[in-house]
Structure 1
Amino acid sequence: MKKTIIIQGSSKSLGNTHKVVNYLNKDNQFDVVDLKTKNIGSFDYEFANADDDFLPLMEEIISKYDTIVFATPVYWYSMSGILKDFFDRVSDLLHYKKELGRQLRGKNLAMISNSTENDLKNGFTMPFIESANYLGDTHSWLSNNNIANDAKVKIDAFRKIIS
């Protein structure tokens, strides 16, 4: 089953991250989930959000995909809040749904970020690296509302890694 899913975590469904995801997925070989379209609450030690979209989404991801790519804009030197909530909810799989969480072992994770400049700060990738066995990452940027040509070269090389 060598399938890849891109999880788009942006506050704007059709913004710059969407442009980057579409370019990365220009051959339509990957499935895409837009977290903005999901009802995913923040982590709660009492698992008060157990009935939202997180667990069904994770069950689908774990059963169908070997590689998970997180796509995020850079907001205040970090991943987007919507993606951070998703990351925090993985704690549900460590405490509340351990059998599901164990199935994440062996999955590949990757990250693609974007901003308006080629200025990714040191430390940005740490949450991704420390969260799992890390496959790869790349950063892209837009110039005049378009993906910069140098960024396209990086995205093309990244596509080869995750395919």
Structure 2
Amino acid sequence: MNKTLIIQGSARPKGDTNTIISYMALKGNFDVIDLYSKNIGHYDYEYNNANDDFIPLITNIIKNYDTIIFATPVYWYTMSGHMKVFFDRISDLIRIHKDLGRKLRGKNMAMISINNSNDLVRGFNMPFVESANYLGMNYLGDIHTWVENNNIPNKVKTIINDFIENKLST
């Protein structure tokens, strides 16, 4: 199995992030999950949200995918709230679902950031890189993309195509 999943973490299901990942998913034949469509509660030390969508979702991801690409818009110089909540909930896999969490080891992670210009701040990728390291995942790299006037510029398409070919193809 070498299946790749893109996890979209945007507050606009059909916004710029979706424009980028729709192009990428088609080019790479990748599956997509939109966190906006899921009911995932914030991390809770009492685990009062144990019956939300997180555990079934992450179980499916771990079972069916080798490579996970996190796609997030840039909101206030960091990942989106939807993406941050998802990352926080990975703590469930470290504290109470340890056997499931250990299955992330050896899987691949990558990140795509999206906004409306080529101006990503330095260090944006750090939470992704360090999370991959902590979880024993292979960090394949990241790219920054942007959309101009509801279109993907040719320069960005080249960045995406190169990333697929050089980082995601095995």
Q: TM-score range by the shorter chain?
A: over 0.9
Q: What residue ranges of structure 2 are gaps of 5+ in the alignment? A: 133-137
1:66 aligns with 2:62: no
- What is the identity, as a one-letter code, of the residue corresponding to 2:94? L
- The Cα of 1:114 is off from its aligned counterpart by 0.7
Aligned positions, number: 163
Could you report, residue by residue, the CA deviation over 1:27-56 in whole angstroms, capped at 9, with x for unpaired residues? Answer: 461111000000000001111111100000
Moved more, 60-69 or 21-30: 21-30
Which residue of structure 1 lines up, in the alignment, with residue 135 of structure 2?
A: none
The CA distance in 2 between the partners of 1:145 and 1:58, in whole Å, is 31
Which residue of structure 2 lines up, in the alignment, with residue 147 of structure 1?
A: 152
- What is the identity, as a one-letter code, of the residue corresponding to 1:136? G
Matched ranges for 1:96-115 at <5 A: 96-115=96-115
Secondary structure of 1:50's counterpart equals coil
- The Cα of 1:142 is off from its aligned counterpart by 1.3
Secondary structure of 2:26's counterpart equals coil
The CA distance in 1 between the partners of 2:115 and 2:101, in whole Å, is 31
Which residue of structure 2 lines up, in the alignment, with residue 79 of structure 1?
A: 79
Q: What residue ranges of structure 1 are gaps of 5+ in the alignment? A: none
- The Cα of 1:147 is off from its aligned counterpart by 1.2
| Contact 1:47/1:96 (8 A) holds in 2 | no
Which residue of structure 2 lines up, in the alignment, with residue 54 of structure 1?
A: 54
TM-score normalised by L of structure 2: 0.93
| Contact 1:67/1:107 (8 A) holds in 2 | yes
* Structure 1 ranges of 4+ moved more than 2 A: none
Moved more, 135-144 or 25-34: 25-34
- What is the identity, as a one-letter code, of the residue corresponding to 1:118? N
Moved more, 141-150 or 102-111: 141-150
Which residue of structure 2 lines up, in the alignment, with residue 42 of structure 1?
A: 42
Which residue of structure 2 lines up, in the alignment, with residue 162 of structure 1?
A: 168
TM-score normalised by L of structure 1: 0.97
| Contact 2:27/2:161 (8 A) holds in 1 | no
The CA distance in 1 between the partners of 2:40 and 2:60, in whole Å, is 15
| Contact 1:4/1:65 (8 A) holds in 2 | yes
- What is the identity, as a one-letter code, of the residue corresponding to 1:20? I
1:135 aligns with 2:135: no
- The Cα of 1:91 is off from its aligned counterpart by 0.2
- What is the identity, as a one-letter code, of the residue corresponding to 2:63? S
Same amino acid, percent of matched pairs:
58
The CA distance in 2 between the partners of 1:24 and 1:146, in whole Å, is 13
After superposition, the CA RMSD in angstroms is: 0.9
Which residue of structure 2 lines up, in the alignment, with residue 119 of structure 1?
A: 119
